[in-house]
Amino acid sequence: MAVFKRLSATLVSRIDQVVSQIENHDAVVEVAIRDARQAVAKSKVRMARLQSDGVRLRRKLAELRKGEAQWTQRARSCATKDEDRAIECLRRRRECQRQITELEKVLEQHAVLEERLTRNIRTAEERVGEMSQQRNMMRTRQSAAEALNSIAGMDETVVSDVADAFERWEVKVVGAELEAGSPDVGDSLEREYLGAEEREALRAELENLMANKENNDDN
């Protein structure tokens, strides 16, 4: 008896494990979708920070270009009066030009990175949408399959009981219909009129038949 109990417990455990694995498919997919959405959200935060850095760098570039123009104008204005001051102005202008060149390279790399991140976010969002759609489709298919299995797995006794119930129901309905259609005074009167009308129609048909016979005899 103990052996059978252990065997039964083992089988139940394995069945529960299989059922658990089947039921966890939806949970696994749900976790994957949630993780993907979190990754997209983090990427969007990085994108916002990257765009903010881009605004700051472009503002800095505009300031440097403005400074370059100012030092150029200052060098020109004092060239005839103070050569040393004019040379220092040109040195400042050259420093602005150097920073402008470096900043333009940084902005080029920044634009490439921003474009790549935008493309990756768009691809990730599309993938999340596809996963969600596929999950919903699988849920629908699973529900339909479970419904079909429930119907297919109905006990024969239950099916027989349902069939008997339908049969008894039909007998009751037919009886009610017959009872509702029982003859009354109105029905008798209607039959009287119908009989008279039918007799007149038959008499006309007989007269027509006799007339045709006389015509045939004359011919």
3-state helix, strand, coil in the chain (%, to 5): 95, 0, 5
Residue with tokens 């309905």: 173
User: Which range among 30-34, 93-97, 115-119 shows the weakest confidence by mean pLDDT?
Assistant: 30-34
Conformation bin of residue 55: beta by default, left when phi > 0, alpha when psi is -120 to 50: alpha
Give mean pLDDT, residues 19-41.
77
| Whole-angstrom distance, CA of residue 127 vs CA of residue 88 | 58
Q: Residue 43 is encoded by which pair of tokens?
A: 């990427």
Q: What is the pLDDT of residue 39?
A: 87
Mean per-residue pLDDT over the chain, rounded: 79
Is the model's pLDDT at 172 over the cut of 70? yes
Residue type, 203: R
Cβ proximity of 44 and 121 under 8 Å = yes
Q: What is the pLDDT of residue 144?
A: 81
Give mean pLDDT, residues 126-150.
83
Most confident of 5-14, 53-62, 156-165: 53-62
Cβ proximity of 77 and 95 under 8 Å = no
Q: What is the pLDDT of residue 11?
A: 41
Cβ proximity of 96 and 128 under 8 Å = no
Give mean pLDDT, residues 90-111.
94
**pLDDT grade, residue 8 (50/70/90)?**
very low
Cβ proximity of 110 and 5 under 8 Å = no
CATH of 2-159, one of 3.40.50, 1.10.287, 1.10.260, 1.10.10: 1.10.287
**DSSP readout, 14-70?**
HHHHHHHHHHHHHHHHHHHHHHHHHHHHHHHHHHHHHHHHHHHHHHHHHHHHHHHHH
Q: Is 105 exposed, middle or buried (0-12, 13-18, 19+ CB in 10 A)?
A: exposed
| Whole-angstrom distance, CA of residue 7 vs CA of residue 117 | 57
| Whole-angstrom distance, CA of residue 61 vs CA of residue 96 | 10
